[in-house]
Structure 1
Amino acid sequence: METLDMSNFAERRQTSIFREILNESHLQACYTCGTCSGGCPLTGMESTKDEGYDCRKVIRMAAFGMDQEVIDSRFVWICTGCQRCEIGCPMGVKLVKVWMAAKAARPREKVPGILHKGVDMVMRTGNNMGIPEEDYVTLLEELGEELAEECCPGFVTPVEKVGVDYIHFQNSKEAYAEPDDMKWWWKIFYAAKVSWTTSAKNWESVDWGIFTANMEASKEIARRKVENMKRLQARTLILPDCGGASYGTRLNIEKYFKDEFGPETGHTYVYFFDVLLDWLESGRIKVDKSVHAGRIVTWHDSCKHMRSAYLTFGDDSNLEKPRKILSYLINMENFREMPHNRLESYCCGAGSGNWPGPFEAEKTEHGGFKARDIMATGADLVVAGCSNCRDQIMKNLKPKYNLDIEVKYIWEMIADALIMEE
């Protein structure tokens, strides 16, 4: 990096890609105090020393109009968008907005790894994996038949069912590689005796558009969900379990599709936490605590469900909902909070597309902060509410950090403990 020539500073600022978000991001309010870097796990990591960037350095580069250096940096891609930097900033600088602007400015053919290919695929086929509609519907039907034989007599997967209470979207990763995982939600729907459906077209729950800062793609992915809800006359849209996808869907609904929801339309959208907690509290579903008796349990607060929902929407309700859900499943005397929890939680290390992304060393070292928090609890069961987080903890952190743990989704725990009434 060359010494910055300040003689043309005004010109650089006027032509900077960041000029349009100066006020929105509060970039000019930066004190250069370094609180952001102090809270960011990427600071000083061995795997990032070659580039040598941290939050404070990159935000100053953006402020000085050093556009190309920021656009070309690895830093904005290995950042997981966890917003720990923002929760601590005394001036409310929205650093992730700046990173997103830099990511958006990178030519799509230079987006790291497979992320842009996934975005292109979902735009063309309706899911990240490019699974043909006929194959997908056949898979859902066959899985439904298996579930009916296993524990849910009479169950038929409700594909394209019209006039239902809920619409639920599937993760193409599960349809492609872990199809049995979809049964957990289906089993809960069956036990709750509610009407629901999933769509055969444009059914992808995940939003890789937001991972790549392709906000037009993110908007379209959300629009398709809303359109499916309207087309199938579903009263409630359940936001996806993937933290990035729930955040992206809500962000776009609030910005572009808010008029499609409310009493006058008959439609609403909710987090899956709301659905599960409501059914447990109302007695619509019943669970057996003995299934997880004796387990020492901890909960992973996913960044987008928790901190991002609070910072972006002013919504901190998700902080306590999963803990209330767990109280139905376990003896809370066996629950252990991580040292850093709720708004102070560490990211799993794989957010913002870093799970399928190419930066293996970085996401593993970043995840070490979460791994050490898990170890500190002494838990043997880690519960997650995000597919991205669950995969990172179970498939990467567990073997890399020799964690003696089992990792479960919170809805998987419910499905395993359900009392199935005749």
Structure 2
Amino acid sequence: MEVLDFMTITEKRQASRFADLISAAHVNACYTCGTCSGGCPLTGMESTRDERLDCRKALRMVLLGMEQELIDSRFPWICTACYRCLAGCPMGVKLTDIWTRAKALRPREQVPGVLHKGVEMCLQTGNNMGIPTADFVETLQDLAAELAEEECPGFEIPLDKIGADYLFFENSKEVFADFEDLKWWWKIFYAARVDWTTSSTNWESVDWGIFTGNAEASKEIARRKVENMKRLQARTMILPDCGGASMGTRINLEKYFKHEFGPETGHDYVYFFDVLLTFLQEGRIRVDKTVHADRIFTWHDSCKHGRGPRLYWGDDCFEKAREILGYCFDMKNFREMPRNRMNAYCCGAGAGNWPGPFQAEKTEHGRYKAEDIKATGAELVVVGCSNCRDQIMRNLRKAYDLDIEVKYIWQVVADALILEG
């Protein structure tokens, strides 16, 4: 690390690879008050004592010409982009834009873990795992046959159906390994007698481009979703369940493809919360609350289904989630987490940290979420994001001795469905 020469700071800022963001992200407005660091779970973690970085320090590094040290650090990669720093900043500094730029400036061969490989695979094959089209189609058809035999007589996968009401995208990890997870949404579509479809190509719901600061890849992944919607003449695109993917997709739709949506085009996009709530409110599906009788449960507010959309677009899914739960549970058994909605803590797995290589960091990052879960006394934690589910169920539960079950909110709905012949 070179000795700082304060006489050349202005020149360094002008030549900085962050120069445009110093103005656009209001970095010069920083009070150095430390509100960002005070609200960030990364601050003071034992697993990061070697770097001793936090939000405030990282921001000063950019302003003081130490950007390369930030780019070379793991700080931008263990940040989950939970937006607590952005929500708390009294001056509206867009700190997460800075961390994303730092990721983007890392040479692609130095992107930690498998994330960049997944991006390349998705761009080459249409999904992160490189699953061939024939294998994808066969897997879906086999699972559909199982579901038809088990619970939903006559169920078939409507692949590449033209003119459907809804277009649904799959998460490659479910197609590759977590097969049963696919059936919950299928059961809901079956019970609702909804006209839906999925694509046989470029079907990946997840966007690892946004996880790696690869804006062009993220845009291309979103473009392919739009092209599938247009090719299949689907009326409504369902945003991915993965919080990061839904956020990444929506950012690109709003920035580059907004003209493809609206009454004049016949196309729209919605969150899955909207789909579930519409089906329940309109009576298209019916559920039996007794399936979850006497279960003490809580809800985890995913950052990118709540705080992120609220800060970017002024809307969120906080109350939608709770309304859906009200159909499936006796709400007298609901235990709200002490820190919820805009104040909720991240699970620690966002922005690519679940598939990422930093095990100690993502586990310690989730300590406040574990505290909040314990405080509720709940036996069941309901979530709305695949990364959150995996982090809480497969990591935090063991690391923090949480005696809980973890379920998706659509899984809860599917479990309580009243299936009619």
TM-score using structure 2 length: 0.99
2:230 is aligned to: 230
- Aligned residue for 1:141, secondary structure, equals helix
Deviation of 1:309 after TM superposition, in Å, equals 0.4
2:30 is aligned to: 30
Q: CA offsets, 1:220-276, max 9 Å, x none?
A: 000000100110110000000000000011000000000000001000000000010
Matched, 1:170 2:170: yes
- Aligned residue for 2:406, secondary structure, equals strand
* Distance in structure 2 (CA, Å) of the matches to 1:73 and 1:157: 46
Instruction: Give yes or no for contact 1:241–1:385 (8 Å, CA) kept in 2.
Output: yes
Deviation of 1:421 after TM superposition, in Å, equals 1.1
2:409 is aligned to: 410
- Give runs of ≥4 in structure 1 deviating > 6 Å: none
1:204 is aligned to: 204
2:308 is aligned to: 308
2:242 is aligned to: 242
* Distance in structure 1 (CA, Å) of the matches to 2:80 and 2:313: 19
- Aligned residue for 1:170, secondary structure, equals coil
Deviation of 1:2 after TM superposition, in Å, equals 3.7
Structure 1 segment 1-40 matched on structure 2, within 5 A: 1-40=1-40
- Aligned residue for 2:10, secondary structure, equals helix
* Distance in structure 2 (CA, Å) of the matches to 1:332 and 1:410: 15
Instruction: Give yes or no for contact 1:298–1:377 (8 Å, CA) kept in 2.
Output: yes
- Aligned residue for 2:257, secondary structure, equals helix
Q: CA offsets, 1:353-372, max 9 Å, x none?
A: 00000000000001111011
Deviation of 1:313 after TM superposition, in Å, equals 1.2
Matched, 1:59 2:59: yes
Q: What residue identity is the alignment partner of 2:185? A: W
* Distance in structure 1 (CA, Å) of the matches to 2:305 and 2:216: 22
Matched, 1:379 2:378: yes
1:360 is aligned to: 359
* Distance in structure 2 (CA, Å) of the matches to 1:358 and 1:5: 36
Instruction: Give yes or no for contact 1:18–1:65 (8 Å, CA) kept in 2.
Output: no
* Distance in structure 2 (CA, Å) of the matches to 1:145 and 1:106: 45
2:299 is aligned to: 299
Q: What residue identity is the alignment partner of 1:410? A: I
Q: What residue identity is the alignment partner of 2:83? A: Q
* Distance in structure 2 (CA, Å) of the matches to 1:95 and 1:65: 17
- Worse-matched range after superposition: 93-102 or 61-70: 61-70
- Aligned residue for 2:200, secondary structure, equals coil
* Distance in structure 1 (CA, Å) of the matches to 2:270 and 2:116: 28
Q: CA offsets, 1:334-370, max 9 Å, x none?
A: 0011011001100000100000000000000011110
Deviation of 1:10 after TM superposition, in Å, equals 1.6
Deviation of 1:63 after TM superposition, in Å, equals 1.5
Deviation of 1:405 after TM superposition, in Å, equals 0.3
2:126 is aligned to: 126
Deviation of 1:23 after TM superposition, in Å, equals 2.2
Deviation of 1:65 after TM superposition, in Å, equals 2.4
1:193 is aligned to: 193
* Distance in structure 2 (CA, Å) of the matches to 1:168 and 1:337: 31
* Distance in structure 1 (CA, Å) of the matches to 2:295 and 2:63: 50
Q: CA offsets, 1:279-334, max 9 Å, x none?
A: 11111100000001111110000001100001111113x11000000000001010
2:93 is aligned to: 93
* Distance in structure 1 (CA, Å) of the matches to 2:199 and 2:103: 31
Instruction: Give yes or no for contact 1:300–1:383 (8 Å, CA) kept in 2.
Output: yes
Q: What residue identity is the alignment partner of 1:243? A: G
Deviation of 1:124 after TM superposition, in Å, equals 0.2
- Aligned residue for 2:306, secondary structure, equals helix
Q: CA offsets, 1:110-146, max 9 Å, x none?
A: 0000000000000000000000000000001111100
* Distance in structure 1 (CA, Å) of the matches to 2:235 and 2:85: 37
Q: CA offsets, 1:149-181, max 9 Å, x none?
A: 011110001111111000000000000010111
RMSD of aligned alpha carbons: 0.7
Instruction: Give yes or no for contact 1:210–1:248 (8 Å, CA) kept in 2.
Output: yes
1:350 is aligned to: 349
How many residues are aligned here?
A: 421
* Distance in structure 2 (CA, Å) of the matches to 1:333 and 1:3: 60
Q: What residue identity is the alignment partner of 1:78? A: I
1:257 is aligned to: 257
* Distance in structure 1 (CA, Å) of the matches to 2:10 and 2:153: 71
* Distance in structure 2 (CA, Å) of the matches to 1:401 and 1:34: 28
- Aligned residue for 1:320, secondary structure, equals helix
Q: What residue identity is the alignment partner of 1:385? A: G
Q: What residue identity is the alignment partner of 2:142? A: E
Q: CA offsets, 1:91-119, max 9 Å, x none?
A: 00010000011110010000000000000
Structure 1 segment 300-339 matched on structure 2, within 5 A: 300-316=300-316, 318-339=317-338
